[in-house]
Amino acid sequence: MAGGNWTRVGEFILMSFSSLPTEIQSLLFLTFLIIYLVTLMGNSLIILVTLADPMLHSPMYFFLRNLSFLEIGLNLVIVPKMLGTLLAWDTTISFLGCATQMYFSFFFGVDECFLLATMAYDRYVAICSPLHYPVIMNQRTRAKLAIASWFPGFPVATVQTTWLFSFPFCGTNKVNHFFCDSPPVLRLVCADTALFEIYAIVGTILVVMTPCLLILCSYTRIAAAILKIPSAKGKHKAFSTCSSHLLVVSLFYVSLSLTYFRPKSNNSPESKKLLSLSYTVVTPMLNPIIYSLRNNEVKNALGRTLHKALGLRNVIP
């Protein structure tokens, strides 16, 4: 590193929730472990059921399966290390490990924004053009949309992570967070980061707002189409096909916005940790629950799959 007082950082220390009493940390460990296991099992079950049951081979469940892959990936990147820090097994993370964790947290987070927008477009086509839906959302189209949703994470994660970790670090190596997120790691940099911060702000706004605008546009058209349906039963049926997605989108964007778009004066490190938990830990657990409890097709498919797995004869129709 250039500069006489700068030292090369070989590892970082994740402070996580170290300011809390040991008893509280143990309780948090147990809570997050249960949430982690539920998240992995719930999303894995969604993937298996949508693959195994022919009734769930529609585009909607194809994109839901992709969402479950993203949720599992984000959890595997963040939660195991956080659990280790809560029990003080190992609060350190190597320089490369920190960069890798940041890269994949960016990757999965960005891709989820765009995938949710793709799912909104799928609901728009299903409700506004139901007769043409199978033709428009054919296998080739849905594959292209999935690739388009997964791709943005690569350039965003590569540029932001590579740029940030090319800066020199000096002084403390303590990251005041439960994972290597950009803002707390940036505070440890010993260089002028003004240009990077401008890029990060502009990039975050574009990555978050572009899919959000696409989602708003889709649901504006969906709302207009639903209002034209004459019967109350028809309106309820049309709305029920997109209510689960709308709830998932609301949870994700509200927690993400509160985490990254709050004024710095109102954004203490401890509140930032709590808000980060909502979209990195809690929301991935809720998504399969929302889609299972609010969707009769998924509930029936789960029943059929369990009956087949257990070798029972009376299969749910």
Long-range contacts of 231-235 (CB under 8 A, 24+ apart): none
Our count of domains for the chain comes to 1
User: Position 300: which residue type?
Assistant: N
What six digits make up the tokens of 76? 């595997």
Greatest C-alpha distance within the chain: 76
Q: pLDDT by residue for the chain (317 residues), tens digit each?
A: 444 455 567 789 998 888 888 888 889 999 999 999 999 999 999 999 889 888 888 899 999 999 999 999 999 999 999 998 888 767 899 999 999 999 999 999 999 999 999 999 999 999 999 899 999 999 999 999 999 999 999 999 999 999 999 999 887 889 999 999 999 999 999 889 999 999 999 998 899 899 999 999 999 999 999 998 888 888 888 888 888 889 899 988 888 887 777 766 556 667 778 888 888 899 999 988 888 766 777 777 777 777 776 765 444 44
Evaluate whether residue 149 is within a structural domain: yes
Evaluate whether residue 53 is within a structural domain: yes
Evaluate whether residue 150 is within a structural domain: yes
- Give phi and psi for 158, each to the nearest 5: -65, -50
Evaluate whether residue 196 is within a structural domain: yes
Tell me which residue range forms the domain holding 116: 11-295
pTM of the shown model: 0.89
What six digits make up the tokens of 9? 């950082």
Distance (Å) of CA 1 to CA 88, 166, 168, 170: 31, 10, 6, 10
Evaluate whether residue 131 is within a structural domain: yes
CA 186 to chain centre: 22
Given a contact cutoff of 8 angstroms between Cβ atoms, the answer to whether 101 and 78 are in contact is yes
- The CATH number linked to 133 is 1.20.1070.10
Distance (Å) of CA 292 to CA 1, 77, 251: 52, 25, 16
Count H helices and E strands in the chain, helices first: 12, 3
Evaluate whether residue 300 is within a structural domain: no
What's residue 309's pLDDT? Answer: 67
Evaluate whether residue 80 is within a structural domain: yes
What six digits make up the tokens of 297? 């097709």
Task: Name the helix (H) or strand (E) containing 123.
Answer: helix 95-128
What six digits make up the tokens of 54? 């022919």
Evaluate whether residue 304 is within a structural domain: no
